[in-house]
């Protein structure tokens, strides 16, 4: 049994005009204990809504979550609010996208780290503060005895992100959800945060669901990758297989748009590929393939019949009628 099993997740939102926005529409995936799984796709594809749905942070209404989200065998959608509060920040933690808006500006760093420890582990105020200093040391913040008494506005962006990681890891969660953990950080700080996440994963043994649109980050830290488009999963594979032989035209377009380091120096520089058109509106029920309106290989079949997710190579699935299917070894 996998640590996290998401089956046919559907997160829809009622709109003021009476319509329905299908932000996540039938998503399924598993995360094994200690595994790092990346979910990638362009803005608006449903990545962050998926992470918020797992923790049941979607307000209902206007949101509505259906399907199954099993964590350690328990369906999180069947739990009461009190039972979910016991899991959030304890067994499942999340690093939110923007630390400046996620951290409380009027509470010291030590109090914000200690809050989860006092709530979930019953530590005293002094024990929680000592643990907060320990966590700041763990995530590589210098002078932790001083920083624990400071406030978010006194820290740099990279330090605030490290504080978010310290808060998320304080209770030794089994699952860590990281929503764009390196967004808005300069490249040197990005590299430090990724190194830190890799190191901490080995130290505490947590599984990680990494939400990102940056394929470079995926190549650095993930083992498996799920590609989402318009609220649906269109491809899933081991990271090395996806980069070596992407099957879905959307994934091929994403990889084609990634700049190649040094290509302008060796004379092989080409224009970056682009994916024409716009993402379809999620307010309408899409017929056929969700990528049909932008796909260079589209046929009438694509517009009328939705392709099933099929295994195109060992442990490599894609939802495309015309994806090349490799021979599976006997």
Burial class (CB in 10 A: 0-12, 13-18, 19+), 204: middle
Burial 144-164 (b: 16+ CB within 10 A, else e): beebbeeebeebeebbbbbbb
Tokens 């319509």 label which residue?
19
Given this model, what pLDDT does residue 251 score?
Answer: 93
Alpha carbon distance 123, 127 (integer Å): 6
| pTM across the whole model | 0.88
Q: Are 275 and 294 in contact (CB under 8 A)?
A: yes
- Residue-by-residue pLDDT tens, the chain, 330 positions: 789 999 999 999 988 888 888 999 999 999 998 899 999 988 888 899 999 999 999 988 888 999 999 999 899 999 999 999 989 888 899 888 776 778 889 999 999 998 888 888 888 888 988 889 988 888 888 899 999 999 999 988 888 888 888 888 888 888 999 888 777 667 777 777 788 777 777 777 789 999 988 888 888 889 999 999 999 999 999 999 999 999 999 999 988 877 766 555 555 666 777 888 888 888 888 888 999 989 988 999 999 999 999 999 999 999 999 888 876 555
CA 260, 269, 240 angle in degrees (round to 5)?
Answer: 30
Given this model, what pLDDT does residue 308 score?
Answer: 92
Strands 175-179 and 92-95: parallel
Given this model, what pLDDT does residue 263 score?
Answer: 57
């Amino acid at each position: 049994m996998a640590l996290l099993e998401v089956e046919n997740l559907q997160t829809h939102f009622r709109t003021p005009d009476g319509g329905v926005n299908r932000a996540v529409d039938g998503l399924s995936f598993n995360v094994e204990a200690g595994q790092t799984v990346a979910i990638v796709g362009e803005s608006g594809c449903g990545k962050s809504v998926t992470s918020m749905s797992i923790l049941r942070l979607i307000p209902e209404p206007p949101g509505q979550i259906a399907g199954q989200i099993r964590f350690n065998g328990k369906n999180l959608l069947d739990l009461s609010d009190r039972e979910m509060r016991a899991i959030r920040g304890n067994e499942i933690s999340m690093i939110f996208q923007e630390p400046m808006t996620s951290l409380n500006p009027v509470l010291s760093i030590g109090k914000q780290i200690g809050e989860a420890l006092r709530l979930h582990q019953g530590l005293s105020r002094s024990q929680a503060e000592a643990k907060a200093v320990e966590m700041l040391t763990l995530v590589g913040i210098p002078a932790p005895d001083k920083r624990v008494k400071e406030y978010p506005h006194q820290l740099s962006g990279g330090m605030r992100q490290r504080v978010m990681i310290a808060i998320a890891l304080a209770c030794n969660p089994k699952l860590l959800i990281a929503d764009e953990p390196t967004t808005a950080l300069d490249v040197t700080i990005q590299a430090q945060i990724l190194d830190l996440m890799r190191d901490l994963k080995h130290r505490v043994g947590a599984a990680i669901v990494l939400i990102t649109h940056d394929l470079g980050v995926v190549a650095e830290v993930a083992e498996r990758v799920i590609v989402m488009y318009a609220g649906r999963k269109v491809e899933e594979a081991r990271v090395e297989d996806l980069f070596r032989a992407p099957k879905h035209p959307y994934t091929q377009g994403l990889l084609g748009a990634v700049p190649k380091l040094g290509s302008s120096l060796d004379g092989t520089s080409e224009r970056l590929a682009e994916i024409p058109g716009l993402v379809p509106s999620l307010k309408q029920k899409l017929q056929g393939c969700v990528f049909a309106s932008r796909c260079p290989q589209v046929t009438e079949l694509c517009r009328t019949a939705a392709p099933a997710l099929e295994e195109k190579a060992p442990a490599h699935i894609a939802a495309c009628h015309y994806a090349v299917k490799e021979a599976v070894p006997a």
